[in-house]
Each structure stands twice: as structure tokens, then as C-alpha cells.
């Protein structure tokens, strides 16, 4: 049945349609081109002269060899692309029809060297892009539909495993090589969820298990190079400021060590376990990690070096439920031993499963005073509460800050600087340092483990 182009004349919020057409460029490997049209879930504003500089329609061509990536092959991926493009109310995504992966062979991507074939496709499909644009778009002086480009730092990648968790749904583990600014090749292992295809849930550095000349190492190559997790460094951009927040209670931490105690951390949201492992191996913490999905933990133990044993205790449960349970005095968690409900630090890294307004953290249900009161009751006298925040709106962030300030006497903020994440740090009590920095062994250890820049960027709010 022929496609009725007239259905695209107006914007219909949240409408998603996809179809295939014959490939007009014989130089491409696929005989079909996939076209996907997504209209923003946000109601379009009335067009005005600002449309000249901020058009509300755009097209994007899928990077070659990335057609099967969830970011470009799923509706949720398209939504994230659209929401990350300000003022765009219709996104037209164009790419080769993804070839079904052979389940017996790894899914490998290598960045193409040239893009001539993509330029040819762009010219050939220009009339179709115009036909798929709302008719009102051209009433305000727009003569062309802008072409957005997708760029990231991935040079090559190989999927190690795809699996399904009861809570998070489909996920994958992949090894990637990324562009490096220090003249050295950089390899990472990533955990991604299909429901949030543009968000890397966990990322760690990996190194070849055998000594190689790095120039000869190739992700997914025929030489079958095996990589090991490097748990001594944090590469996920917001984890470093989360750990840097410990500087606020450096004196308390140092006193704990001097008395022969390991500081205790409760981590809600384990993922691949990068934060949990770092706190234990680099800062000598005793850690309780809470993760809702048992399959995520299996992946973390198999691929990311997560251990459940000495000084790391893993509990399979909803993090907020467990925190409230511990606050009521019930210290038992199924699948874990007795949990001592007193902590020096609580760290929260939980994202929302509602993607209608883009990626956000923490879940909306976390923004409740009773949850924060439960957290405060689990902290020791000089403890801190640390949370990763990706606010979906300014109003959400202001409400979260207000609720924290009603429960905790001091609140600090670190702007991660990526235009997305903020770290909030709440203190149970205003505390004065009793040990100078030059005498504080914990602060020395902390500065060796991470960059000190975020320690200086904390501001009280």
C-alpha cells in the first residue's frame, strides 16, 4: 500500500512511524532505506520569526554501521535523540535497513573513514525529507530542512553479551575504544539498557590481560585479545564528584581509620559496580550495595569485576524500600546477611524509568520527605547523603533542593559540568575539622585516588 504523505502535514505529539523504501544509492550495502518520523511529546509552540534560527524540524542520517544500535533502531532511542535537540518538534531519521545480527557472531562496529556515500544519500533523499515536513514549517521563510549530525567518541565496539533483566529489561555489555586526548589508546567496558539507549549505565576502563603493543590491539579483532577491568580509576563523569564529596567529612573519616574502623557506605543502585568497587579497593570502605535486578548483578560480577565478599555486601532489593525498612529497624535483607543500619555515607545513583521527558535522576518517587528522613536516620552523627541528579526540569531540581534543606542542616552542590548532572551532598550536622589537611591521611588518599578539582568546586546552597 502506498504511503499517504498527507498524514505528515501536521505535528501530532508523540506520533512515531517508520517505513522502508528502495535504496536510491547502489553503493550502499543494504537494498532498503529505513525512514522513521517522530513528533515530540511536547506540544509545539506557535511558529514565529524565531523559526529562522531555531527550526522545529530536522533530519538526521544514521552513522554507517550503527543501524542496529538501539539508539537508532528503537522508538526510545529516537525520542532521546529528539529531546537532546532543543526546539526540534519533528525528527526524521534516515539510515540503511539494519541487517539482522547473526546470533553466533559478535556485533562489531568500526567507524568509517569517509562519508561520501552518506553525502550521496543525503542529496538523493532531499525531496523526500521536504515532503515529510509539516506544511506550516515552510510558511515562515524556511527553505531547507536542517541536517543534524550524530557524533560521539566511539572508534570501535563489540557486543559481548545481550540479556534481559526482570527489572531493567534488555541490556547489553560492550567493549569500546574511544578517542583519547592523551595520545594513548583508551579501552572501556560499558553496560547499557535498551529502555535508555543513549545512557551508559556503567563504564569502566579495561586493559589487555597480556602485555601487548597497544598499536596492534583491536576491539573485536581476530587476535582474541582478552581485557581485564581496571577498578583503580573512575571514568564515568559523575562518579568522581560523588566520591569527591567525601572531602566534606574528611576529618570524620580519618578519625574512623585511626580508631581501627572502616567507614561504611550504603550505595543504592549498583549497576556494574564501578562505584562500589572503587570505594572498597581505593578508599578501604565497607560497602553495602543495593540493586533491584539480579541479572544486572550477574553481569556486574562476570564482566565488571564486582565482588560480593570481604567488605562488600550485595542486597537484591528496591533501594528506597530497603532504606525505609532499615529505618524502621528491620536489618534483614533477603539474599544478604544482617545489615548494620548505620552508615557514614549514603550514595544514590538511581535513574527514572519514565522517559517521556528524557533521561532523569533520581526517580520522581524519591522526591519525598519521608524517604529523606529515612536516609537521615541511617546516617551516623557526622554522615553525609550524596545523590546524582539529572533534573528533567528546573522546577524538579528546585523542589528536590527544598526537600533536602527541610531535612538536612547543610546542603552542597557540585555542577559536574557536562550540562546534565549535578551532585547534591547533604550533611547531618555542621561539623568543624579537628585535623588539618596536612595531617589528614584520608584526604591525602582521596586526592591520590581522584582529581581534587571537584573538591574545590563544591558550593553550599
Give residues with Cβ within 8 angstroms of 368, minimum separation 6: 403
Say if CB 422 and CB 259 are below 8 A apart: no
Give residues with Cβ within 8 angstroms of 453, minimum separation 6: none
What domains does the chain contain, in order, with CATH numbers? 5-148 (no CATH), 154-233 (no CATH), 237-460 (3.40.50.150)
CA–CA distance, 82 with 91 (Å, rounded to integer): 6
For residue 118, the model assigns a pLDDT of: 61
Q: Mean of the per-residue pLDDT values for the chain?
A: 87
Largest CA distance in the chain: 78
Lowest mean pLDDT among 95-109, 142-156, 160-174, 241-255: 95-109
Please return the burial class of 279, using the count of CB atoms within 10 Å of its CB with bins 0-12, 13-18 and 19+.
Answer: buried
Provide the 3-class DSSP secondary structure of residue 89.
Answer: coil
CA–CA distance, 100 with 84 (Å, rounded to integer): 28
The string of pLDDT tens digits covering residues 235-247 is 999 999 999 999 9
In degrees and rounded to multiples of 5, residue 129 shows phi and psi of: -60, -40
User: For the residues of 12-46, what is the DSSP string, one character each?
Assistant: -TT-EEEEEEE-S-TTSS-SEEEEEEEE-SSPPPP
Say if CB 265 and CB 282 are below 8 A apart: no
CA–CA distance, 185 with 163 (Å, rounded to integer): 29
pTM of the prediction? 0.89
Centre a 10 Å sphere on the Cβ of residue 193 and count the other Cβ atoms it contains: 23
Q: Give 219's DSSP letter.
A: T
Sheet holding 16-22, edge to edge: 16-22, 32-39, 90-96, 57-61, 147-148
For residue 397, the model assigns a pLDDT of: 94
Say if CB 442 and CB 394 are below 8 A apart: no
Q: How confident is the model at residue 183 (pLDDT cuts 50, 70, 90)?
A: confident
Give residues with Cβ within 8 angstroms of 26, minimum separation 6: none
The answer, yes or no, to whether residue 223 has pLDDT greater than 50, is yes
Q: Considering only CA atoms, which of 211, 273, 265 is closest in space to residue 383?
A: 265
Most confident of 2-6, 20-24, 300-304, 351-355: 300-304
Angle at Cα 401 formed by Cα 399 and Cα 404, nearest 5°? 110
Provide the 3-class DSSP secondary structure of residue 295.
Answer: helix
Q: Considering only CA atoms, which of 181, 177, 169 is closest in space to residue 203?
A: 177
Lowest mean pLDDT among 90-94, 226-230, 454-458: 454-458
CA–CA distance, 85 with 148 (Å, rounded to integer): 9
Centre a 10 Å sphere on the Cβ of residue 438 and count the other Cβ atoms it contains: 7
Q: How confident is the model at residue 291 (pLDDT cuts 50, 70, 90)?
A: very high
The answer, yes or no, to whether residue 314 has pLDDT greater than 50, is yes
Q: How confident is the model at residue 121 (pLDDT cuts 50, 70, 90)?
A: confident
Q: How confident is the model at residue 169 (pLDDT cuts 50, 70, 90)?
A: very high
Amino acid at each position: 500500500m502506498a504511503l499517504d504523505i498527507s498524514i505528515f502535514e501536521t505535528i501530532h505529539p508523540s506520533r512515531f512511524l517508520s517505513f522502508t523504501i528502495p535504496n536510491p544509492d547502489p553503493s550502499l550495502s543494504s537494498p532498503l532505506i529505513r525512514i522513521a518520523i517522530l513528533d515530540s511529546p511536547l506540544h509545539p509552540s506557535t511558529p514565529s520569526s524565531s523559526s529562522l534560527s531555531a527550526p522545529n524540524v530536522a533530519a538526521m542520517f544514521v552513522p554507517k554501521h550503527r543501524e542496529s544500535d538501539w539508539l537508532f533502531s528503537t522508538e526510545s532511542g529516537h525520542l532521546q535523540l529528539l529531546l537532546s535537540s532543543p526546539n526540534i518538534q519533528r525528527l526524521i531519521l534516515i539510515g540503511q535497513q539494519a541487517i539482522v545480527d547473526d546470533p553466533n557472531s559478535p556485533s562489531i562496529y568500526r567507524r568509517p573513514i569517509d562519508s561520501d556515500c552518506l553525502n550521496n544519500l543525503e542529496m538523493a533523499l532531499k525531496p523526500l525529507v521536504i515532503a515529510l515536513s509539516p506544511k506550516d514549517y515552510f510558511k515562515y521563510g524556511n527553505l531547507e530542512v536542517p541536517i543534524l549530525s550524530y557524533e560521539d567518541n566511539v572508534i570501535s565496539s563489540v557486543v559481548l553479551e545481550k540479556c534481559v533483566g526482570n527489572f531493567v529489561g534488555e541490556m547489553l555489555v560492550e567493549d569500546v575504544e574511544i578517542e583519547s586526548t592523551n595520545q594513548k589508546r583508551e579501552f572501556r567496558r560499558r553496560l547499557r539498557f535498551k529502555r535508555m539507549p543513549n545512557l551508559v549505565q556503567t563504564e569502566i576502563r579495561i586493559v589487555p590481560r597480556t602485555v601487548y603493543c597497544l598499536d596492534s590491539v583491536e576491539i573485536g579483532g581476530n587476535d582474541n585479545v582478552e581485557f581485564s577491568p581496571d577498578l583503580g580509576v573512575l571514568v564515568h563523569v559523575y562518579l568522581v564528584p560523588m566520591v569527591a564529596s567525601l572531602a566534606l567529612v574528611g576529618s570524620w573519616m580519618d578519625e574512623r581509620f585511626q580508631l581501627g574502623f572502616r567507614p561504611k557506605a550504603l550505595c543504592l543502585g549498583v549497576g556494574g559496580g564501578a562505584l562500589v568497587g572503587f570505594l572498597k579497593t581505593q578508599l578501604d570502605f565497607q560497602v553495602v550495595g543495593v540493586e533491584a535486578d539480579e541479572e544486572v548483578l550477574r553481569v556486574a560480577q562476570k564482566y565488571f569485576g564486582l565482588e560480593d565478599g570481604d567488605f562488600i555486601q550485595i542486597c537484591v532489593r528496591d533501594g528506597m524500600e530497603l532504606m525505609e525498612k532499615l529505618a524502621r529497624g528491620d536489618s534483614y535483607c533477603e539474599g544478604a546477611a544482617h545489615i548494620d543500619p548505620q552508615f557514614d555515607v549514603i550514595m544514590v545513583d538511581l535513574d527514572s524509568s519514565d522517559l517521556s521527558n528524557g533521561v532523569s535522576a533520581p526517580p520522581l518517587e524519591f522526591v519525598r520527605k519521608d524517604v529523606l528522613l529515612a536516609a537521615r536516620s541511617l546516617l551516623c552523627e557526622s554522615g553525609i547523603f550524596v545523590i546524582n541528579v539529572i533534573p528533567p526540569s528546573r522546577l524538579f531540581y528546585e523542589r528536590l533542593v527544598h526537600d533536602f534543606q527541610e531535612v538536612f542542616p547543610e546542603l552542597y552542590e557540585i555542577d559536574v559540568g557536562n550540562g546534565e548532572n549535578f551532585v547534591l551532598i547533604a550533611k547531618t550536622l555542621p561539623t568543624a575539622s579537628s585535623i588539618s589537611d596536612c595531617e589528614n591521611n584520608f584526604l591525602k588518599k582521596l586526592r591520590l585516588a581522584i582529581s581534587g578539582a571537584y573538591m574545590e568546586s563544591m558550593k553550599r546552597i
